[in-house]
């Protein structure tokens, strides 16, 4: 009987193009907090880690705990407003749904490991009907966030898969670091927040620039 195969997916920047939405929310939250907003290059570098940790990095180093809490609330509120606005655009990347389809049909086990909270992920599931593809979901509010291996380890434990049967797929260096820390093969994608050279430097086993080559790599994966 063949060994099961597990694909663990990041969400933002990997399956869903949330780049513009996240940057817009950052700018709104910082302005409402009376702080200079970060530019996109600063924002993209913290995507994937927990929101509080990301905002701590982006905020001035002398920000008080109370003011940081306000900034976090402003960001969450901005995201809620964005998602409810007419014309809200946070599409899945072309090819993402096709890959999830054939993985499921081919008997793969699928998981999510995301820096989103469950509330944030549920909002995305309400927009994109992909929840049924995933056998287990791990979010920032379940335990230690990226790059700690907790979410990958929990996904493997939940689905009965060993590191040699599992892959981590993500667009950020934090995804690669998390996967490597958990001992799984880690595939980077260059269409999200992280640059290809950054993913390579972080130790990605492969970096893909389109879903076609990612699919070919997944088809060739032989669990050990």
Q: Among 24, 4, 20, which Cα is nearest to 12's?
A: 20
Residues labelled catalytic:
10, 12
Question: Which two three-digit tokens encode residue 125?
Answer: 């599931």
Q: Sort residue 107 into left (φ over 0), alpha (ψ -120 to 50) or beta.
A: left
Distance CA 217, CA 161 (A): 19
Distances (CA, A) of 15 to 88, 171, 172: 17, 9, 12
Q: Among 188, 189, 223, 24, which Cα is nearest to 107's?
A: 223
How many CB atoms within 10 Å of residue 68? 16
Task: Please give the helix or strand (H or E) that residue 168 lies within, else none.
Answer: strand 166-170
């Amino acid at each position: 009987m063949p060994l099961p195969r597990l694909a663990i997916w990041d969400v933002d920047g990997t399956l869903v193009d949330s780049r513009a939405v996240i940057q817009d929310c950052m700018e709104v939250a910082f302005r409402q907090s009376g702080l200079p907003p970060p530019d996109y290059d600063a924002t993209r570098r913290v995507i994937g880690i927990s929101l509080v940790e990301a905002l701590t990095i982006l905020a001035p180093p002398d920000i008080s705990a109370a003011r940081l809490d306000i900034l976090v609330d402003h960001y969450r509120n901005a995201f809620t407003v964005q998602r409810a606005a007419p014309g809200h655009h946070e599409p899945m990347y072309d090819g993402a749904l096709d890959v999830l389809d054939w993985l499921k049909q081919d008997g793969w086990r699928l998981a999510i490991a995301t820096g989103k909270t469950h509330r944030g992920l549920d909002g995305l599931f309400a927009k994109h009907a992909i929840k049924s593809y995933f056998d287990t979901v791990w979010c920032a509010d379940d335990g230690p966030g990226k790059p700690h291996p907790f979410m990958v380890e929990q996904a493997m434990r939940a689905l009965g898969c060993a590191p040699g049967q599992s892959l981590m797929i993500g667009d950020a260096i934090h995804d690669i670091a998390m996967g490597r820390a958990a001992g799984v093969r880690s595939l980077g994608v260059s269409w999200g927040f992280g640059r290809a050279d950054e993913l390579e430097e972080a130790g990605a086993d492969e970096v893909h620039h389109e879903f076609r080559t990612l699919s070919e790599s997944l088809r060739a994966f032989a669990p050990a």
